[in-house]
Amino acid sequence: MADEERQGEHDQLLAPLRSRIDELDKRLVELLNERAKVVVEIGQLKRSNTAPIYAPHREAAVLRQALENNHGPLPDRTIEGIFRELMSGSFALEQPLRIGFLGPIGSFSHAAAVAHFGSSVSFENMHDIEGVFTEVRRGHVDYGLVPIENSTGGAITEALDAFRDTRGEVWIYAEVAATIRHSLLSNTEPSRVTRIYSKPEIFAQCRRWLATQYPSAKLIPAPSSSQAVKEVGESYAADPTSGAAAIGSALAGRLYGVNVLFSDIEDNPNNITRFFIIARQKAEASGDDKTTIMFTIPNEPGALATVLRTFADAGINLTHIDKRPSGRENWSYTFFVDAQGHRDDPILAQTLRLLQHRCQELHILGSYPRATRIL
């Protein structure tokens, strides 16, 4: 059979399937716009009652229901991505949102913000963690996203200090968990890479891969991974034979026009960063929540053990504990714990009332839906 005949038969088999896809696409667009009309009505009601446009407990319920309704063949991750973009478009219809993040543009915080909020909201580079808190507190942005803990590097101390200094002015509104995926980016051929730019911490996280793939390349520190990607793009534009590459996010590559040569080059594929979304309002209970508490204790034997035992006696699981200098006197510390449950749950509420009398100070930083999936 001639190639032309085989191609003709192939096209005949594909034609009805493609026609079916076109019909389904048309129905999808119609249903999406029908949903959007309801979203517009919801937005009008929210604005008349000054209710928040972004409600994490409702987001969690929508995603949970979507995944329960998914019977394949599309994987849950795809369904979640579609619905996050759908909710992002809904925000834009109800009221445009501005999200502050730890910059620069193309940073892993920026990538996490886009993955969580979708591409239909505005993202504002706040340059540092303190700036995110300041702009949320002043109402210059609607919400802020800040890193709180990395699975390999530990707590983000700047964020803990910011919570310590702004308690009662901003609240933890939601939790986001995102995999940190490093990519080697360049506009030259892989074999021609001679210089690689990135943050020293990122070089450390890709040490084994670099030693195997680019043992002779010069590793050049940069103030940020996204700045490294930007500089590589500019270097290639000025000299296509520069041999420069950067390690950063795929998002930074798209923003600065630099191609991904190799993705997922981190030595630990389970490198996950937790982020908190902060807001001027408190989150409602979702049925699967955490509460973050900050407290100081008397400088006496057993004081910390007493606090921890109070949680244990109530059957409350603590998923995280950390400490920072109190900023008041040497060797005095502020403790941070994440407890399972919402502040309004009867058992946790009673436990917190008991602890008010056992701590020098105790502040609830927020109750919020637990991140159940990793972006």
Catalytically active residues, by annotation: 273, 275
**Does the bond joining 104 to the residue before it have cis omega, within 30 degrees of 0?**
yes
β-bridge partners, 336: 294, 322
Closest among 206, 200, 231 to 104, alpha carbons compared: 231
**Single-letter residue type at 158:** E
For residues 297 and 281, what is the distance between their CA atoms, to the nearest angstrom?
Answer: 27
Q: CA separation (Å) from 133 to 57, 155, 156, 275, 368?
A: 22, 17, 14, 13, 17
Q: Among all chains, which residue has been given the structure tokens 């990607």? A: 229
For residues 282 and 364, what is the distance between their CA atoms, to the nearest angstrom?
Answer: 11
Cβ neighbour number for residue 258 with a 10 Å cutoff: 28
Q: Among all chains, which residue has been given the structure tokens 């007493």? A: 306
Angle between helices 76-94 and 3-48 (to 10 degrees): 50
Burial 330-352 (b: 16+ CB within 10 A, else e): eeebbbbbbbbbbbebeebeebb
Q: Counting runs of H as helices and runs of E as strands, what totals does the chain give? A: 12, 15
